[in-house]
Structure formats: C-alpha cells, structure tokens
Structure 1
Amino acid sequence: MTAALIGGFLWLVVANLIAMLPSRDQHWRAAYGLIAVGIPLLGWVTWTAGPLWGLLFLAGGASVLRWPLIHLWRGLRGSRDPAE
C-alpha cells in the first residue's frame, strides 16, 4: 500500500471522527480544512495509485463533505431556496 493511500484512508478516518464531534458552526471550519487538505491529497492518490483509487477517494470525500458540495451546486445554479 502506497503512502498516498495510507494518507487518503487516514484523511477519511479523521473526517469521520470530526463529523462525530459537536460543533457550534455546523463543522464549516473543519470542512474548509478538510477541503484544503483533501484536494491535494486527491491529486496525490490519483497520481500514485491510479484513477480508480482516485475516483474511490473522491466518492468517499464527497460522501463526508456532502453539504459543502450541495451548497456549491446551489451556488452554481443560482438558487438558494431548497424548495426549487
């Protein structure tokens, strides 16, 4: 197992542990930190382990950081109302 995969799995474990902790800001500060570390880590995993592992890591990261992705999608579409 490469160092990139170990780092990716460690990132996923830490992200899940952070999600279990209580937070006053609904984990947004932690999400920003996880995104800042996760994007270069995704590139490293994809570069060293291949595109299949990169896609699997991307899916795992997206499942942990689903609300920032939902807000990004809504911002790109231009709608803020969840009823739309």
Structure 2
Amino acid sequence: MSISLALAAVWVLAATITAMLPMRLQYPPGLTLLVMAPGLICFMGYQHGVWVALIGLLAFVSMFRNPLMYFYRRARGERPEVPK
C-alpha cells in the first residue's frame, strides 16, 4: 500500500471517530480534517492518477456534505443555522 492510501485510511478513521463525538467537540478536529483533505486528495492523485483522486473527492464530499453546504450558503450571503 502506498503512503498516500495509508494516510487516506488514517484520515477516514479520524473522520469516523470525529463523527462519533458530541457536536460541540467536533469543530476543532473536523475543521482540521476539512483543511487537510484537499492536500491528501492531490497527493493520492499524484501517486495513483486522476480516477483515484476523483474517488477520494467523492468520498470527501460524502463525509463532509453538511459543513460544505454551510460554507456554500455562507458564501452566497445566507445565514445558515449552526446545530447546538
């Protein structure tokens, strides 16, 4: 297994553990994972090609759909509600 796929597997485990935390504790690790993902996806694409990067991107969007929708709505000028 290549280093990029091993790092991706660790990232997925960290994201799964983060999802199990209470909502108020998810923000710091979730934001860290959100920021790290594009670099990891690019690294996977560099080592394995564009199709692997596309699969990684689809998995990332699937796992982080709610935060990405929040940032999308904020960029459009809306004021979305944050769960408590």
Q: Under a length normalisation based on structure 2, what TM-score does the superposition of the two structures give? A: 0.80
- What percentage of residue pairs aligned between the two structures are identical? 27
Q: CA deviation at 1:21?
A: 2.1
Instruction: Kindly indicate whether structure 1 or structure 2 has the higher relative contact order, using CA contacts under 8 Å at least 6 residues apart.
Output: 1
Regions of 4+ moved over 6 Å: none
Equivalences, count:
81
* Unaligned segments of structure 2, at least 5 residues: none
**Are residues 81 and 15 of structure 1, via their aligned partners in 2, closer, same or farther at CA, if it must alter by over 3 Å?**
closer
Aligned residue runs from structure 1 range 1-84, under 5 A:
1-25=1-25, 27-80=26-79
Q: Under a length normalisation based on structure 1, what TM-score does the superposition of the two structures give? A: 0.80
**CA RMSD in angstroms, aligned pairs only:** 1.8
Contact 1:4 1:44 in 2 (8 A): yes
Q: CA deviation at 1:24?
A: 2.2
* Unaligned segments of structure 1, at least 5 residues: none
